[in-house]
Amino acid sequence: MSIPVYMDNNATTPCDQRVVEAMLPYFTKHFGNAASHTHSYGWVAKGAVDFAREQIAGFIRSEPGEIIFTSGSTEAINLAIKGIFELYHQKGNHIITCGTEHKAVLDTCKALEKRGAQITYLPVNKDGSISLADLENAITPHTILVALMYANNETGYIHPVKEISKIVHERNSYFFCDATQAIGKIPVNVNEDGIDLMSFSGHKIYGPKGVGALYLRRKNPRMRVQSQMDGGGHENGFRSGTLNVPGIVGMGMAVQLCSNEMSQDSERISRLRNQLEQAMLKTGKVSVNGNVTSRLPNVANLAFHEVNGSQLITEVTKSIAVSTGSACTSALPEPSHVLRAMGLPDDLAKASLRFSLGKFTVQEEVEFASKTIEDILKSL
């Protein structure tokens, strides 16, 4: 066991060795540009990209042609939300999201507000859920997009995606879903879930950083977005730029491994998460933030009462790699915007930690983390 123990898998995951091995030939031997159509180097690269596209499409039950490769979820989110706004603003300028979305969604919406978009930020309940009645009432004839995540990155809360999509489609709007944290942890089926656009990323599923994808439905309804990058017209004109072939190959392999191993991994990780959580709750000064019945199997967001948040984090992170929220906001001194939106007071939000376990987390690490934090709580 190495120290610090890593329990921040919602921020990023270590690359699976099998993924690394699949990628290596495409750095050296098969280094061609997938857009080079006149020789075998390009053909081999394109074949590898096509195969990865099929792997990913099969995993989420889409068609290969509905997968657009990007540099990650943030780019996919920008392409989806800005792309819809720019293409459909003649129909309307209204977008609906909620206060606990990832900053990539919230900041994109704020940027569009400066360009004339009207954004409704739905409130959430104490467990992080939205009111479906609020969603219904918020949709107007001018609503062109509803952007709600599949699972929250800080609390693990899983939104009722099927119910949301039904409401959205009954009112003739489109549904974009950031599934960055859900993919690889729980089953996602874009057709059964009724998702029109969906973002996800390689480095959250034991694949490489710097690669992600946007799912863009082609039938019933046929979705289109305005490209955000001009250039060579790659990815059917939706995302220009030389494709990251090694990264795409790695993401495809990571998805394949998830397809084979997700069920057993999630069951084991859930047991370890519950063990850690129960040990913390037994101290009597800890509570769980968020819904405990509809959440990802690997996440425990815990509030530590009657302690100084800064001191707690300083002591814990000496030997356990955890976070107070999204990696994208970890440099900010403010409390988590997710926990604030759920109604937590600032002092308790600052004294909350997110534990996100992964497939390489072992029993010994959970026992070490439990004992270490118990001792820290006593000293504080």
Kindly state the tokens that stand for 189. 């089926």
Q: How far apart are CA 319 and CA 215, in angstroms?
A: 39
Residue 258 designated active-site: no
Q: What is the 3-state secondary structure (H, E, C) of the chain?
A: CCCCEECECCCCCCCCHHHHHHHHHHCCCCCCCCCCCCCHHHHHHHHHHHHHHHHHHHHHCCCHHHEEEECCHHHHHHHHHHHHHHHHCCCCCEEEEECCCCHHHHHHHHHHHCCCCEEEEECCCCCCCCCHHHHHHHCCCCEEEEECCCECCCCCEECCHHHHHHHHHHCCCCEEEECCCCCCCCCCCHHHHCCCEEEEECCCCCCCCCCEEEEECCCCCCCCCCCCCCCCCCHHHCCCCCCCHHHHHHHHHHHHHHHHHHHHHHHHHHHHHHHHHHHHHCCCCEEECCCCCCECCCEEEEEECCCCHHHHHHHHCCCEECECCCHHHCCCCCCCHHHHHCCCCHHHHHCEEEEECCCCCCHHHHHHHHHHHHHHHHHC
Candidate list 15, 109, 258, 328, residue with the active-site label: 328
Contact 361, 14 (CB under 8 A): no
Catalytic positions = 328
